[in-house]
Structure 1
Amino acid sequence: MVNVHKLKQDICEIGRRIYNKGFAAANDGNITVRVSENEVLCTPTMHSKGFLTPEDICTIDMTGKQTAGRKKRSSEALLHLEIYKQRADVKSVVHCHPPHATAFAIAREPIPQCVLPEVEVFLGDVPITKYETPGGQAFADTILPFVDRTNVIILANHGTVSFGENVERAYWWTEILDAYCRMLLLAKSLGKVNYFTEDKERELLDLKAKWGFEDPRNTEAYKDCDICANDIFRDSWESSGVQRGAFEAPPVMRPGGSVSSNGSSSNGSSPAPAPSGSAPALGADQEALVKLITERVLAALRS
């Protein structure tokens, strides 16, 4: 039988961890645990996650209707319920605002891959949703393109949501992600980020499969993908406003390493190096900028 009181205690413990890590200021964040086909435990709205008691946790059904509890349920419960509807294996969902990962959410900067072994094994490619006002079904639906291929999602201009077979595991993915984002920002401040070689990344993907962690890159559907270039969720970037800015793309790591005629790899990552002694081709925007600068320099010389 399900020990509901113990699950409520577990929710409160994770709430304290979230608050103590600085992942949830004031009343930020929400946590749920699914206890039956139609029952979900949920944290209350307008309460700090660092000071919850089991008596504060309410119960809702799979439509979002509150069925028990003295305090009103979280206003973002529909996001959690949508994840449960899409993933029968998920028993807990954690949403919060970890600052380093949320910085990537605000910048809409894709999370670089092939940098840290633990991240490759436990997380893989981390998607960023399109932005939607929190609380409603439209907000909940932003996770739909991604929820079947990952256990952690960055919510554009908002925070993160992670999920798993219990509340501690659901929280782990957020903690790993935020620690990684912090490391990336620190490495960037030192000057550069180094990527794994292809053979070392494939060793990690082999280990991941051996240890029982799923990754789309280990499936037939993605056998030809660039394993380090965020290929799993790249098709969502344009609609979500995601693009590389702070971090360079990794070297091409795919069967054949094909490069298109416009100088970019066929997956959209970094272009191949120009032949020795030749100048790299300029894009239309770069050419326009060079032309503008040249005209202004010549005008200044004539004045």
Structure 2
Amino acid sequence: MYKLVLVLFFICFGLQAQELNCSLTINTEQTGLSNLQVFRTLKTELTEFMNKTTWTDLNVKQQERIDCSFVIIISNIDSDYFTASIQVQSSRPVYNSTYNSTLLNFNDKQFNFRYTEFQPLNYNPNSFDSNLISVLAFYAYTIIGLDADSYELGGGEPYFEEAKRIVNTAQQQVTDGWSPQSGTQTRFRLNQDLLSPNFREFHDVMYAYHRNGLDYMADNPKDAKQSIAITLELFNQMYASRPNNFLTRVFFDTKAEEVKNMFSEGPQVSISNLVDMLNKVAPTKSAYWQQIKL
């Protein structure tokens, strides 16, 4: 009986796995100190932190881990204080294809942190240990949430709530990127808007665009493109109530090239209204919209 219990324990334990498949790059060219050992240690420790932390209680198979990448650009180092920015990307596979669709492409310029070589890196949801850990944990849950949103309507909410807990804890210690006073394109604003009922259409788009559109592209590209065109019209509703809102910018910073490629190739669908809408809600991406063939 003891052996049976032990076997069942290891089977159940083995079912739970890390959620992220994260590659991490440290760019130190601006410091003029690229050969410092601390940078190599930092890369190794952060890569292990992201990939070996179990962020949820989900049973994730190896092939189901979310592909993501972090590029940390360090511009200055003063003893243990690092001035930096971080570029965060994540993607998910499209059914019946070899194509991966980008879900997030976000440049966070408010990423300064303290780090001492070989310091322990562990995430504790109930405490603030360092800005370094809090920022990376915040993006881990945001990535998991956006991935969940693309498979299930509203599926990302519990992970955005976990990210909110990090926001609330971190802003008691530091303000850069965590508080309403930090600006209009910050971690605070991203999380606030992802949880706001004012932007429920964003979650409708994330689900329908991927699950009812891209995932059917291999089977019926014309119908899939038409479905995506209709889905993107939801940004009109967001624009009507909140012009130039942050989540629309985040979406098209991530998806502009994909949308342009999608509607410039393959079977043609009626998109004249779509192009007009894109120019209205995402005018900074007009160079992409000009390339769409009507």
The reply to whether TM is greater than 0.5 is no
Which protein is richer in helix relative to its size? 2
Q: Relative CO higher for 1 or 2, CA cutoff 8 Å, sep ≥ 6?
A: 1
- The alignment's TM-score, normalised by the length of structure 2, stands at 0.28
- The alignment's TM-score, normalised by the length of structure 1, stands at 0.28
Q: Which has the larger radius of gyration?
A: 1
Which protein is richer in strand relative to its size? 2
